[in-house]
Structure 1
Amino acid sequence: MTAQPAPRDDDRGGLRASHDDREAVVEQLRDAAAEGRIDLDELDERLERALTAKTYAELDALTADLPRPPSPADLPPLELSGGYYGASRGPGPWDVPGRVIARGGLAGVKLDFSRARCRFPEVTVEAYGESAGVVIVIPDGWVADTTAVKSGLGGLKDTTTPDRLPGTPLIRVVGSGGMAGVVVRHPNRWERRKLGNDPARA
């Protein structure tokens, strides 16, 4: 049996759209309304059509007159290295690229997505525990896929829940636990209290 070639982007119109495809368009439409590109009545109309769309062609028609959202290739990867002093990103607001590389080094890395702004349906995090480890914190409702992480001597600890809220990104973690390990979790009690009491981070 001869294998069929994969469809090109310009041939995909008749293909069936997934829930994630519809949610991505919904998010783009909401952003467009927040930027003043479409009014609220038009937003409601387009959202209804997006949620009932069955094909890529139907979804593409709803965003054809809007600027395209950035793709992971548009932003350089974020690289964090623990080195001798440690490194962190978050929990304050920051823009998430499509790829993050975290190397624990001798002092460790903490990557906190609690207040991060993410426009991508999926983000790849390369985590290498090395000597001090990497800690990745994701908000409730976000989901992590850690199946591709090699445990190494330090191992992998993933305590996140599998319940993904619509419109949230998938954090796909790859790499190795190294000597000190990789931890993926939701905010702990102290972190939740600190975020809740800090208006600048709300």
Structure 2
Amino acid sequence: MTAAIPDPARQPDLRVSHAERDAVVEQLREAAAEGRLEIGELETRLEQALTAKTYGDLVPLTADLPPVATPNDGKPLVLKGGVHGATRNGRWQVPARITAHGGVGGVKLDFTRTQCGLREVEIEAHGEMAGVTIVIPDDWAADTGGLEPGLGGLKDKTTDDRRPGTPLIRLSGNGGPAGVVIRHPNKWERRKLKRNPPQ
């Protein structure tokens, strides 16, 4: 399930969901990384997005930005940490291939709220200066043999408790100076998942 970008045609007084707030936050961060928003504008809009209650609050925050392209199974998703970092979380569509460059801001891929029907997901991770963090559900597993640890190393904190029908993450790339981490949710993330379970 893809994180929902708010539809401008919706009635402005309708309440927005966590996924829709998350989608706008990610769109704003990507726009800043591309130079479309200055730091001050980004901070102001992020605060407004995180506290938005209705479509009337949320939709204007991205009205002057180009729409986010939706990844598909045939086209790899490329994330670049840049200066401000990049994140995929919430309910987002998972493609079969992902390339993540940590840059100086870092990249985080959080799969704990996704619904992924793929048997395998290939992630090419390059830790670079700030690193790449990958969070997978407890019943997913990872094959990290294709990743060169580099100076920063690889921290694989996953278990082999893969449930049939769930994806296998195949990790390749290079840890670089900051390294790559792949793990299951930590205590704080588990509390958030318990309060707001994936649908």
Category of TM-score, reference length = shorter chain: 0.5 to 0.7
Larger radius of gyration, structure 1 or 2?
1
Distance 2:152 2:114 in 1: 27
Relative to structure 1, the CA distance from residue 159 to residue 74 in structure 2 (aligned partners, 3 Å threshold; closer, same or farther) is closer
Distance 1:74 1:122 in 2: 11
Distance 1:73 1:169 in 2: 16
Offset from partner CA, 1:70-129 (integer Å, 9 cap, x none): xx9843111111000000001x11111100111000010000000112121011000000
Offset from partner CA, 1:168-198 (integer Å, 9 cap, x none): 0100000000010000000000001012213
What corresponds to 1:160 in structure 2?
158
What corresponds to 2:75 in structure 1?
76
2:84 alignment partner AA: Y
- Secondary structure of 1:191's counterpart equals helix
Mapping 1:34-183, distance limit 5 Å: 74-90=73-89, 92-183=90-181
- Secondary structure of 1:195's counterpart equals helix
Query: Which has a greater percent of helix?
Result: 1
Offset from partner CA, 1:122-159 (integer Å, 9 cap, x none): 11000000000000000001000001110100000001
Distance 1:103 1:74 in 2: 20
Unaligned runs of 5+ in 2: 1-70
Pairwise CA RMSD: 1.6
Unaligned runs of 5+ in 1: 1-71
1:123 alignment partner AA: V
TM (norm. structure 1) is 0.61
Distance 1:156 1:74 in 2: 27
- State the aligned residue count: 129
Offset from partner CA, 1:11-51 (integer Å, 9 cap, x none): xxxxxxxxxxxxxxxxxxxxxxxxxxxxxxxxxxxxxxxxx
- Secondary structure of 2:182's counterpart equals strand
2:124 alignment partner AA: E
Q: What is the percentage of aligned positions where both structures have the same residue?
A: 62
Distance 1:154 1:132 in 2: 10
Distance 2:184 2:73 in 1: 28
